[in-house]
A = this chain, B = another copy of it.
Amino acid sequence: MKSKRVLIVEDDEVTAMNLKMSLEKQGYDVVAIADDALSAKSKLKIYSPDIVIVDISLQESDDGIRLASYIREKQLLPFIFLTAHSDDHIIEDASKTEPYGYIIKPFDPASLHVTIQMALYKYHQEKKRNENLDSLKVDKLNLEKLLYNKKLSDKPIVPFGDGYHLDISVCETFYNNKKIKLTKKENSFIRLLVAQLGLVVTFDQAISYVWEDDGATENSVRTLVWRLRNKLPTDIIKNASGMGYYIED
């Protein structure tokens, strides 16, 4: 296996150099060192590293955490936090970004290696799972979670489009608080669209989620969309040519 490319984001030069030396001794390729979030972002693009080590408290601010959130959101890379503190609320904030690992200063070279390996592996698994999700499987549970994350405060309601909402506890769609009678498959597809609000639902996804084991053709999906569009008062189901359908966020 060729050596992994590491980007270090650390404003303290001494720590950064220590890290770099330690990593290089273990066969890693430290491609760059950034000392703030901004340069980190540009260096991410330039060097395309395999993993990023981020100091949690860049310039005494929460820049490190925000950088991590950014990376997590874009699903670019695995990242590891480097921290000296064990301040509980920093830990809490850091945990929210779901880091792939963390190293506590002063760091130990051996544990550094293991942590990186674990992070890389974890990222690899996650990526594989996401790929599966993209191309094929969106299982019920997964979808429920997606929908749940979109729900409004304590009510099981997910608003979408303009005047629409979905009651996720009973699987029903409303337009201006008026129920729209939908059949099983129509409902199923709306749920999928809303779970991925703003994202395209591919034909494959639709087929595997709505039709489960019995397959279906792309034409079936098209006809389903057609029927749905007839039942919905406004035209919110958009087509992404060659890909599938989506509802705008």
Listed in ascending order, the chain A residues whose CB lies under 8 Å from chain B are 83, 85-86, 88, 91-92, 94-96, 98, 102-104, 106, 108, 110-111, 113-115, 117-118, 121-122, 125, 129, 132-133, 136, 138, 144-145, 148, 156, 167-172, 179, 181-185, 187, 196, 198-202, 205, 240-243
Cα–Cα, bound, A181→B185 (Å): 27
Minimum distance in angstroms from A150 CB to a CB of chain B? 12
Q: Which residues on the B side are within 8 Å of A108 (C-beta)?
A: 104, 106, 108
B168 touches A136 (CB 8 A): yes
A171 touches B202 (CB 8 A): yes
B118 touches A91 (CB 8 A): yes
A104 touches B95 (CB 8 A): no
B169 touches A136 (CB 8 A): yes
Provided the pairs A91-B121, A156-B136, A243-B171 are in contact, do residues A129 and B148 lie with their beta carbons within 8 angstroms? yes
Cα–Cα, bound, A60→B241 (Å): 56
Q: Which residues on the B side are within 8 Å of A121 (C-beta)?
A: 91-92, 95
A171 touches B200 (CB 8 A): yes
B132 touches A117 (CB 8 A): no
Q: Which residues on the B side are within 8 Å of A91 (C-beta)?
A: 114, 117-118, 121
Of the candidates B103, B171, B199, B242, which one forms a contact with A170 in the assembled complex, judged by CB atoms under 8 Å apart?
B199
Q: Which residues on the B side are within 8 Å of A171 (C-beta)?
A: 200, 202, 243
Cα–Cα, bound, A122→B99 (Å): 10
A240 touches B136 (CB 8 A): no
- Residue in B closest to A241 when the chains form the complex, CB atoms: B183
Cα–Cα, bound, A200→B241 (Å): 27
User: Can you report 26 A-B residue pairs in the complex whose CB atoms are below 8 A from each other?
Assistant: A83-B114, A85-B114, A86-B113, A88-B117, A91-B121, A92-B121, A96-B125, A102-B114, A104-B110, A104-B111, A104-B114, A104-B115, A111-B111, A129-B145, A132-B148, A133-B148, A136-B156, A170-B196, A170-B199, A170-B205, A171-B200, A171-B202, A171-B243, A172-B200, A179-B198, A184-B241
